[in-house]
């Protein structure tokens, strides 16, 4: 049987546009606290807020975008949110107080949340159903490349350029993303007038959250907290261990491993089902955290980066594919939004929660505690989705035998 095509012109365009948007996110996320301190003499907590309020804005936008994406139209939402993203960057040049900077940063996050939701929704609709896992794995590599290049670029630019020049570079990247998007043919959802009117009027919980995508998304909250412990504290931990050189390569290793494994894990999800990918990925993330807790040489730190890719990197792409497959076709946008609201929520609240643990148990103890919590996620996943996925897989195999 002939399989549907993944790498269409529109897929490649949106892949590229997503990369530039994500690149700006990671570039500024790693350098913005420094900017707040240098420019406005912000305290550590204020500097952290200047960096983190972006995620709050993104969460707020995802909540609204998931509900109204089909009402507004995917094209209109994508173009308007990218324009908002561009305007926010331009306003960085004129921010003359910390309060104004926080407002701009929040708006910038809204542009990111809405545009990334619109692009992900469009691509999820383009990918053939029977290749959803594989296609999602390929598409999310755009963020993987940004994860590796963004922090590195942020560090290089802050060392060699002033922030006005950095904002100019981010403006150029945004314009490229906007121009690319104009050349993509965005598929709109086929939705009845009745459902459209219900969406406009409804203000119930299920109008903002896709219930069928919630089980796998809920699992991602805990996994997002574990990931936050790495991206937020890996540099401080590496300094404590005197492994700064290895830490600078941590996300490069992460990206390289993902580059080779994501297409394979996505394909495996499509052929063999959800559980054969998700269970090992949770174990790999557990191993990553255990390795971090025991790291004393650079090799162990980099090995943890590889297991982070096999674990968390796989869970993000395959988890998103599961969320989309579970949802009705006309609520794909809401499923994508639900998934990332939970994931971003975990990543966003993680550093705050973990900050209470570190003074009592240190970094090593913190990573061991998180390894235990991630391991126990296997049980949570089983009851929320794994059990149903196994029954569905068994039913499918029995049907194939009959046929």
Q: What is the CATH number of the domain that holds 363?
A: 1.20.1250.20
Amino acid 198: pLDDT:
61
Amino acid 66: pLDDT:
76
Residues 183 and 285 in one domain: no
Q: Quick one: DSSP state of residue 333?
A: H
Best CA proximity match to 52, nearest among 86, 89, 101, 8: 101
pLDDT digits (tens, 9 = 90+) for 120-151: 888 888 888 788 888 888 888 888 788 778 87
User: How many whole angstroms separate alpha carbon 70 and alpha carbon 129?
Assistant: 20
Residues 279 and 397 in one domain: yes
User: How many whole angstroms separate alpha carbon 301 and alpha carbon 293?
Assistant: 9
User: How many whole angstroms separate alpha carbon 333 and alpha carbon 73?
Assistant: 11
Residues 291 and 219 in one domain: yes
Residues 72 and 157 in one domain: yes
- Among candidate residues 161, 184, 202, the one where a domain is terminated: 202
Residues 170 and 232 in one domain: no
Residues 226 and 91 in one domain: no
The 10 Å Cβ neighbour count of residue 37 is 15
Q: Quick one: DSSP state of residue 310?
A: I
User: How many whole angstroms separate alpha carbon 248 and alpha carbon 282?
Assistant: 25
The 10 Å Cβ neighbour count of residue 65 is 28
User: How many whole angstroms separate alpha carbon 129 and alpha carbon 118?
Assistant: 19
User: How many whole angstroms separate alpha carbon 93 and alpha carbon 63?
Assistant: 29
Residues 193 and 213 in one domain: no
User: How many whole angstroms separate alpha carbon 136 and alpha carbon 156?
Assistant: 31
Q: Quick one: DSSP state of residue 208?
A: T
Amino acid 209: pLDDT:
83
User: How many whole angstroms separate alpha carbon 233 and alpha carbon 217?
Assistant: 24
Amino acid 148: pLDDT:
76
Predicted model pTM: 0.78
| DSSP sequence for 186-203 | PPPP---HHHHHHHHH--
The end-to-end CA distance of the chain, in Å, is 16
Q: Which residues of the chain have pLDDT under 70?
A: 1-3, 44-45, 48, 189-205, 402-403
Print the domain residue range for 67. 1-202
Residues 196 and 214 in one domain: no
- Among candidate residues 173, 202, 231, the one where a domain is terminated: 202
**Residue in this structure with the two tokens 């890996």, named with its chain if needed:** 234
Counted domains in the chain: 2
User: String of b and e for 207-221 (b: at least 16 CB within 10 Å)?
Assistant: bbbbebbbbbbbbbb
- Taking CA atoms, 191 is separated from 113, 198, 389, in Å, by 23, 11, 28
Residues 330 and 375 in one domain: yes
Amino acid 192: pLDDT:
61
CA dihedral 292, 316, 233, 168 (to 10 degrees): 140
Residues 244 and 148 in one domain: no
Amino acid 1: pLDDT:
41
Residues 111 and 174 in one domain: yes
Helix-helix angle 163-182:9-29, to 10 degrees: 160
User: How many whole angstroms separate alpha carbon 189 and alpha carbon 10?
Assistant: 16
Amino acid 205: pLDDT:
66
- Among candidate residues 154, 180, 202, the one where a domain is terminated: 202
Residues 241 and 177 in one domain: no
């Amino acid at each position: 049987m002939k399989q549907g095509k993944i790498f269409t012109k529109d897929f490649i365009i949106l892949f590229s546009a997503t990369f530039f948007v994500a690149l700006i996110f990671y570039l500024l996320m790693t350098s913005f606290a420094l900017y707040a301190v240098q420019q406005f003499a912000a305290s550590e907590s204020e500097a952290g807020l200047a960096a983190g309020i972006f995620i709050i804005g993104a969460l707020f936008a995802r909540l609204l975008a998931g509900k109204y994406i089909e009402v507004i139209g995917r094209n209109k939402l994508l173009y308007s949110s990218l324009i908002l993203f561009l305007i926010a960057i331009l306003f960085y040049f004129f921010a003359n107080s910390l309060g104004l900077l926080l407002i701009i940063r929040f708006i910038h996050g809204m542009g990111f949340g809405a545009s990334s939701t619109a692009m992900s929704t469009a691509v999820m609709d383009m990918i053939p159903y029977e290749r959803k896992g594989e296609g999602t794995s390929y598409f999310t590599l755009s963020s993987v490349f940004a994860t590796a290049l963004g922090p590195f670029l942020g560090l290089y630019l802050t060392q060699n350029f002033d922030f006005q020049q950095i904002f100019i570079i981010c403006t150029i990247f945004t314009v490229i993303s906007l121009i690319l998007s104009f050349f993509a043919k965005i598929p709109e959802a086929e939705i009845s007038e009745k459902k459209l009117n219900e969406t406009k009027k409804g203000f119930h919980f299920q109008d903002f959250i896709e219930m069928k995508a919630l089980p796998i998304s809920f699992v991602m909250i805990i996994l997002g907290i574990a990931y936050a412990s790495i991206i937020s504290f890996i540099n401080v931990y590496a300094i404590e261990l005197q492994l700064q050189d290895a830490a600078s390569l941590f996300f490069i290793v992460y990206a390289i491993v993902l580059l080779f494994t994501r297409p394979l894990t996505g394909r495996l999800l499509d052929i063999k089902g959800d559980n054969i990918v998700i269970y090992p990925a949770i174990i790999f993330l557990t191993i990553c955290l255990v390795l971090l807790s025991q790291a004393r040489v650079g090799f162990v730190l980099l090995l943890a980066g590889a297991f982070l890719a096999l674990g968390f990197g796989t869970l993000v792409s395959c988890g998103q594919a599961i969320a989309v497959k579970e949802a009705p076709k006309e609520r794909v946008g809401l499923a994508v939004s639900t998934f990332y609201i939970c994931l971003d929520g975990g990543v966003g609240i993680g550093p705050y929660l973990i900050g209470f643990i570190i003074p009592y148990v240190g970094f090593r103890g913190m990573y061991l505690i998180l390894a235990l919590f991630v391991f126990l996620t296997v049980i949570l996943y089983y009851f929320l989705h794994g059990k149903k996925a196994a029954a569905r897989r068994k039913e499918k195999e029995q049907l194939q035998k009959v046929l």
